[in-house]
Structure 1
Amino acid sequence: MSVIMVTYDLHKPGDKGYDALYDYLRAYDCRHPVESVWFLDTSKPTETIMDDIVKILPYPDHDMLIVIRQKKKGWVTYGTPRLAEWFKDPKRTWDL
């Protein structure tokens, strides 16, 4: 498993068509600390997550998506104490 960051720029934020995206992301052990950024703890590769999300986007020709595998070291947070706690949790799985 790894911590994966998913971030996006949606063509029509607030559109009900994105409910499937939010449901997909919430299905993981995840945190959503700021708008348009999610952290997932998963064994799925980044390419699979990208493919899964692109299939459910209502405007795939206009939406933008970035999926990045995170490292255990090299992160800092400000104003997001719950995210920092989640990152520090020994259950969290990281790429080294």
Structure 2
Amino acid sequence: MTVYIITYDLKSPGQDYSKLYEKIKSLGDTNHPLESVWFVDTPKRANEIRDIVRSAMDANDSVFITRVTSNYGGYANKSLWTWLTSKGL
């Protein structure tokens, strides 16, 4: 499997995130460390993930998906680092 990062911007105020969250969770093992950022371990490709996620978004919303490599850094909750390490990253 491959770990991807999904980040999005829902433009309309008062958005219902539950459909989007369920779509992301359906992709595989997830970690949600920041408000509009998810990591997902899935066998799907980025374009497949995009299509699934977009089905729960409005036409004016944005989403960016890319594969995570072992070259990363940042400040986040320890659970994210533990999760990434458990995925071999």
Ranges in structure 2 where 5+ consecutive residues have no aligned partner: none
Letter in 1 for 2:67: R
Query: What is the letter of the counterpart of residue 19 of structure 2?
Result: A
8 A contact 1:3–1:93 mirrored in 2: no
- Give the C-alpha shift of residue 79 in structure 1: 3.3
Give 1:1-96 correspondences, 5 Å limit: 1-16=1-16, 18-27=17-26, 28-57=28-57, 59-60=58-59, 62-71=60-69, 73-89=70-86, 92=87
Report if the CA contact (8 A) 2:9-2:63 is conserved: yes
Percent identity reads 33
On the 8 A contact 2:33/2:76 being kept in 1, the answer is no
Shift of 1:93: 5.7
**1:56 shift after superposition:** 2.2
Deviation at 1:76, TM superposition (A): 1.9
Q: Report how many aligned residue pairs link the two structures.
A: 88
**Once superposed, what is the RMSD of the aligned Cα atoms?**
1.6
Q: Quick check: 76-85 or 41-50, which moved more?
A: 76-85
SS of alignment partner, residue 11 of structure 2: coil
Q: Per the alignment, in what secondary structure is the counterpart of residue 38 of structure 1?
A: strand
What amino acid maps onto 2:61 in structure 1?
D
Q: Tell me the amino acid that sits aligned with residue 22 of structure 2.
A: D
Q: In the alignment, is the contact (CA less than 8 A) between 1:2 and 1:93 conserved in 2?
A: no
One-letter identity of the residue aligned with 2:38 = W
> Unpaired runs of 5+ in structure 1?
none
- Of structures 1 and 2, the larger Rg is shown by 1
